[in-house]
Structure 1
Amino acid sequence: MTIADSRSADQIQTHVEPAIRALLDRLDPGNRLVGGYQLGYWNADGSPADRQGKGLRPTLALLSARATGAQPEAGVPAAASVELAHNFSLLHDDVMDGDTERRHRPTAWTVFGVGPAILAGDALIGLAHEALVEAPGSGPAARRLALDVRALIAGQAADLSFERRDDVTLDECLQMASDKTGALLACSCALGAILCGGPSALADGLYRFGWHLGLAFQLVDDLLGIWGDPQRTGKPVGSDLRARKRSIPVVRAVTSGDPNGRQLAELYRSPEPLTDDDVARASDLIEATGARARTERHARQEVELARAELDALDLPAGVRTEFLDIATFITGRDH
């Protein structure tokens, strides 16, 4: 199973992408160019490209609409909105982290500059709200998006603050992950249902499902940031370690009380840039503490909690199956 295999994913190309392209056309030429580059619609010179992301969030939003019995098309404003909000966060995240590659090509800020990348991110989050508020009865959905974007920003702020600290606790790290990744994924799982006027119990259950799914997604993402294959992830091997990120496996290791964790903490405190050998050693130290295995187990547990939330909901059989397939994909993915 991949995201591209789901029924709702077919609607991404036929309905969601045209809606996003139409929204991009509202922007000034500069922000339109950078925004479309970020979304994978075109290259830096404006020529067509086909390098889009996984489409996870808009797929979940369309499924959310179908959960109410509505046609997927009714969820298109929600799907466009969460995809634009996600790419807003990626544009800013790449600038803050100094990442030079995403989805197997240069990040927007390295191509267009820091200022244009930040402005394009601002433009995309504006379009995300436009996509929603122009839909009939969108007030509750627009509020949901605003709350979760605020949580996302709080998570990003915490992530940045961790770079200046060597006393980050595991609870702090998990809260950061829940905000930074869980909030928008939870929003994606509920936004279509809210927009289509679904019962609050349904929207709330889908939101909780998405929150657990989002934390599982970040746990897997943190594992891939250390042990992922660069050919699949589009990022250099051990990129998170090289950047000394306080990701969940790292924090688990340094707070474990294990001697290997203490060595990792010392390595992270080194003022010198980490060499390839240092990165490999850091990876081995994390694994030696058992932090990798515990993080993998935690991701599986979050998926089981997500499944339990879904089991409690009355959903069309096909929708339930697609939600469950996506949950399975998230913990088994390699990029």
Structure 2
Amino acid sequence: MKLHPIWNDYPQLQPELTQTIKLMENSIQLKNKPVKKALLEMIGAGGKLLRPAYQLLFSQFGPEQDRQKSVALAAAIEMLHTATLIHDDIVDDASLRRNLPTISAKFDNNTAVYAGDYLFVACFKLMSGYTSSLRSLQNNALSMEKILSGELGQMEDHYNLSMTVDEYLANISGKTAELFALSCSVGAFENGTTQLFAKNVSDIGHHIGMAFQIIDDILDYTQPKTEIGKPVLKDVRQGIYTLPLIYALQTKRESLVPFLEKKERMSETDIQEIYRLVNDLGGVTKAQQLANTYTQKALKKIDKLPSNSANTRASLQQLTKTLLTRTN
């Protein structure tokens, strides 16, 4: 399996990321061969592996350097992430993920539910086999609860034309930022750092995750379908209103509401007009500014990490800055 090009600049991470993918593949022991094949294809489809990478980087700050454990936990976290993607695709009725047919589109929703559930089981099997205490398992379970709360919050806000920035931020705090926070903190804690250090690292992960999701939502309004691997603005048709649109609504509500009130009946012309208006009304620019604010918060905390791990700290700074300017 070929790693995503983002890792060309991080040769020190490439061996462990490759091991992470191999361990994920080896953990898929389903008897159902078509579903097993679909899961393996999804794992090998070129995901960025950002959460495992942050886990591996922060694990290097601990005095206990058990790299086998770190790789296993990285694999568990990525399987957890992949499981949530499969279930998201069912809820969103998505047909594409990473430019490949989703499991729900390729088979059916029932099969996709079981495939996602299987990855949850595989994740917890790895976690239970390698964590040094129940704390990491407890944190994992609490993170799952927060992720679900974020998803439920987003569902409750479908077609909510009065949705606020704070409500959006609360949803993505659970939906996306929580798993980044877990990835960073479990890497540090399981390699012997203090709980206080792990909490600080969790905050860094949270800021990174918030910036990541905001940028992800910006890409819907700046990149074509072929670049991001999913239908552009499908979220809008489904009533999922993200930060660029929320900001644009605050600026000139009357221009956008007539299109949004059509809901699923929006035409391609309507979608293109929403795309144009969100950009012209400054929604994208304001969202980029907030993503930069979260990134700067993360970078300031990274700057204060121990200087005896200067190379790791430099990699974290570079990677975090890169995420702010990504185009896919």
TM-score by length of 1: 0.90
Which digits, 9 at most, give the CA deviation of each residue in 1:172-226, with x for residues without a partner? 1111011100000111111111222212222112111110000000000001122
Matched, 1:5 2:9: yes
Counterpart-to-counterpart distance in 1, 2:245 and 2:69: 42
1:242–1:274 CA contact under 8 A, matched in 2: yes
Q: Is the 8 A contact 2:221 2:233 kept in 1?
A: yes
Match of 1:116 among 107, 111, 121: 111
Residue 16 of structure 1 is matched in structure 2 by 20
Moved more, 117-126 or 224-233: 224-233
Once the two structures are superposed, the pairs formed by residues 149-188 of structure 1 within 5 Å of their partners are: 149-188=144-183
Amino acid at match of 2:174: D
Between 1:303-312 and 1:161-170, the stretch displaced more is: 161-170
Question: Aligned AA for 1:201?
Answer: L
Q: Deviations over 1:129-182 (max 9, x none)?
A: 111111151422111211111111111111112114332221111110111000
Q: Which position in structure 2 is the counterpart of 1:145?
A: 140
Q: Pick from 209, 230, 234: which aligns with 1:235?
A: 230
Structure 2 residue aligned with 1:221, among 197, 216, 220? 216
Structure 1 residue 329 corresponds to structure 2 residue 322: yes
Given that residues 237 and 263 in structure 2 are in contact (C-alpha distance below 8 angstroms), is that contact kept between their aligned partners in structure 1?
A: no
Say whether residues 1:29 and 2:24 are aligned partners: no
CA–CA distance in structure 1, aligned partners of residues 301 and 169 of structure 2 = 20
Distance, in Å, in 2 between the alignment partners of 1:306 and 1:192 is 17
Question: Identity of aligned pairs, percent?
Answer: 24
> Are the counterparts in 1 of residues 131 and 137 from structure 2 also a CA contact under 8 Å?
no
User: CA, structure 1 residues 136+282, in 2 after alignment: closer, same or farther (shift >3 Å)?
Assistant: closer
CA RMSD of aligned residues (A): 1.8
Gaps of 5+ in 2: none
Deviation at 1:239, TM superposition (A): 3.3
TM-score using structure 2 length: 0.92
Amino acid at match of 2:42: Q
Query: SS in structure 1 opposite 2:221?
Result: helix
| Pairs within 5 Å for 1:58-207 | 58-69=52-63, 70=65, 72-207=67-202
Please tell me whether the aligned partners of residues 76 and 127 of structure 2 are also in contact (alpha carbons under 8 angstroms).
Answer: yes
Q: Identify unmatched segments of 5+ residues in structure 1.
A: 41-50
Quote the offset at 1:272 in angstroms.
5.5
1:165–1:175 Cα change, 3 Å = same
Q: Pick from 313, 316, 320: which aligns with 2:313?
A: 320
Q: Which residue of 2 aligns with 1:289?
A: 281
Stretch of structure 1 that moved more, 265-274 or 318-327: 265-274
Gap change, CA 1:288 and 1:187, over 3 Å in 2:
same
Aligned residues of 2:62 and 2:189 also touching (Cα < 8 A): no
Counterpart contact for 1:65–1:74, Cα < 8 Å: no
Shift of 1:71: 5.2
Distance 1:224 1:331 in 2: 11
- Rounded to whole Å, the distance in 2 between the matches of 1:271 and 1:110 is 22
Contact 2:87 2:113 in 1 (8 A): yes
Match of 1:47 in 2: none
Note closer, same or farther for the CA distance 1:140–1:310 as it changes in structure 2 (3 Å cut).
same
Secondary structure (helix, strand or coil) at the match of 1:198 reads: coil
The Cα shift of 1:232 comes to 1.9
